[in-house]
Amino acid sequence: MSKTKSYINDFLNYISLQKGDSPHTLRAYRSDLEEFFNFVKVEPEKVEPILIRGFLSEQLLKGKTKTTVARKLSTLRSFFLYLYSEEIIDINPARVISSVKIKRALPKFLTVDDAFRLVESPSEDKFIAYRDRAILEILYGSGIRVSELCGLNLDDLDLKEELIKVRGKGNKERIVPIGKKAKEILKKYLAIRQILRIKKKLVVDETPLFINNRGNRLSTRHVRRIVDKHARAIGLIEKISPHVLRHTFASHLLMEGADLRVIQELLGHSSLSTTQIYTHVDLKHLIEVYDRSHPLSKED
């Protein structure tokens, strides 16, 4: 094994232990680092700032988005900072590289009416409909990530207190409310889930909250298909993902006057700056209301 591969493995083990990043994130780190060293063709000790700038420029010339290039730079910064802290290199070459400037897009979110129509769209008296309705209620009513929803277990649910325990990024736990409507739908879903298990003699894993017809835990891909299916069923033209429901949850809370730090806690954001993007959404909403309502905004 080359020194470079050894350093990359050590780095990934370090951040896995320190930050608890997901396997998906670790794979992205590895891919970025391997791509970089295939480009520069030198060991980490010989990397200079001009090589990093050359790699980033080449990525842009290849048509990679600024968001992707910024992520790759972030990976390189973390990697070389690790090597510097471990005294493997004397100078951190990524330290002098300027950040890639990205125009941050405002998150897409649904109107209140569309959100309600979407959540209420599964209406049949069947296992799948109750399950889908419960999923939509929780995604919109609690704002949790799709990965967090799929990771929910039965013992994470406290119907009496109307709360769920969520494991977020870095395996950090938080408690979020689910609301009375979600509570009632969940009761019906859990009852029919038990009937299904007995009727079909399924060897159901008792752990996961949301399962498919075969008794297996739902994947994030499956949940994305569920959301998209019901969005199309009510005539929404744009593709709606679980993350749009997360944005919708946050945007609607802010519009109703919720404190930004409360929203930060509910979303599981480690930094308030991540949550502050919703203030721009709210400002846009206020301008639209002003344009519709204030006499000075109307043409003669």
> Could you say which of 165, 169, 197, 217 is catalytic?
169
Beta bridge partners of 158: 163
Beta bridge partners of 174: 166
Q: Is 222 a catalytic residue?
A: no
> Could you say which of 133, 193, 230, 246 is catalytic?
246
Q: Is 247 a catalytic residue?
A: no
> Could you say which of 72, 131, 133, 145 is catalytic?
145
Structure tokens at 148: 């967090």
Please enumerate, as own/partner, the contacts of 148-156 that have beta carbons within 8 Å and a separation of 24 or more.
148/268, 149/210, 149/223, 149/242, 150/210, 150/217, 150/218, 150/219, 150/220, 150/223, 152/208, 152/209, 152/210, 153/207, 153/208, 153/209, 154/206, 154/207, 154/208, 154/209, 156/209
Q: What's the alpha-carbon Rg for the chain, to the nearest Å?
A: 23
**Nearby residues of 242 by Cβ (< 8 Å), 6 or more positions away:** 139, 145, 146, 149, 220, 223, 224, 227
Phi, psi of 178 (to 5 degrees): -120, -20
Q: Is 145 a catalytic residue?
A: yes
Structure tokens at 81: 């900072």
Q: Is 103 a catalytic residue?
A: no
Distance CA 132, CA 114 (A): 16
Choose among 102, 134, 99, 101: nearest CA to 120. Answer: 134
Catalytic positions: 145, 169, 243, 246, 269, 278
